[in-house]
Amino acid sequence: MATVTLQGNTFNTNGELPAVGSAAPDFHLVDGKLADVRLADYSGKKLILNIVPSLDTPTCATSTKTFNEKAGSRDDVLVLVVSADLPFAQGRFCTTEGIGNVAPLSMMRTRAFAKDYGVLMTDGPLAGITARAVVVISEDGKVLYTQLVPEIADEPDYDAALAAL
């Protein structure tokens, strides 16, 4: 179990992020067309998982926009933003904000992703959704970098995530 804070209040996650060097856990998420997607669907691609509580918050929106800009010029990287938001809301956000270099994925059918990646909030007002985190995965499915952002209202370290690629 790890801890994070939200405006100074401490909350727990269900576990720890995957270890650097380990195989990234498989996942079952939902894309904007309501299709199921898994990690294997991105085989051969470098991934940045931008894990956020909800795109309907300022910091989550900012991190998604920033990764859209910073990774947008790289053909070798795919940024996936994972949240508990419904795919319809994710799609509206991306359209409204002009997000074209980030693929939104929803946990609407299961919280297994959050559990398997150790980011499921287990108590407090955000229980049941994710803490803010970044996981970078190599094209062969190995974890290259992780960051559990200690304060949920803070942005992740974009440069460190990109440098891990």
Q: Give the number of other Cβ atoms within 10 Å of residue 70's Cβ.
A: 17
3-state secondary structure of 68: helix
**38 vs 25, 31, 60, 81, CA distance in Å?**
10, 10, 22, 14
- In the residue annotation, 94 being an active-site residue is answered as no
Closest CA to 45 of 138, 122, 128: 138
**10 vs 14, 114, 157, CA distance in Å?**
14, 18, 21
> Are residues 94 and 88 in contact, defined by beta-carbon separation less than 8 angstroms?
no
> Are residues 69 and 58 in contact, defined by beta-carbon separation less than 8 angstroms?
no
Q: Which of 17, 39, 60, 120 is catalytic?
A: 60
Q: What residues are annotated to the active site? A: 60
